[in-house]
Amino acid sequence: MEITLKEGLRYFAEKVVAPEDTAYRYGSGLVEVFATPAMVGLMENAAMNAVLPYLPQGYGTVGTAVCVTHVKATPVGMKVWSVATLVKVEGRRLHFEVAARDEQGEIGRGTHERCVVDVAKFASRVGRGA
């Protein structure tokens, strides 16, 4: 399978921060603010969706690396969004720049890598512990 993704693909993912998205609920903190793991999940969602429409049927991506900073707290009820931009393609390995914002400004940024996989084959290998 040949990957023909073009650098510059991007996607915006957004949500309103709910109680289940907080550091307290994730167990990563003691405060009811948008959790870093939830922010990373939003960034990964944006990266996944940036390329998914351009992959062959039956193919998807899995996250392989994340390096981000989370610089500002966001309260429950505020809208947050992330943008992921594909900046480099190395065969099946995809490199993204990711950023997240809330209604008051930037809350995080960094890089994320994903790998293109045949979903059925990947799931089969995981199922047998390989």
Determine which one of 22, 61, 70, 113 is catalytic: 70
pLDDT given for residue 7 in this prediction:
97
Q: What percent of the chain has pLDDT over 90?
A: 92
What is the overall mean pLDDT for the chain? 95
Say if domain 10-127 classifies as CATH 1.10.630.10: no
Residue 122 vs residues 55, 64, 115, 125, 126: alpha-carbon distances, Å: 15, 14, 11, 5, 6
pLDDT given for residue 106 in this prediction:
98
44 is catalytic: yes
Each domain of the chain, given as residue ranges in start order, spans 10-127
Q: Rounded CA gap, 18 and 13, in Å? A: 15
Tokens 């998914």, residue located:
52
Determine which one of 4, 7, 32, 36 is catalytic: 36
pLDDT tens-place string over residues 92-117: 999 999 999 999 999 999 999 999 99
36 is catalytic: yes
pLDDT given for residue 129 in this prediction:
63
pLDDT at 130 over 70: no
Determine which one of 2, 20, 22, 44 is catalytic: 44
Q: What percent of the chain has pLDDT over 70?
A: 97
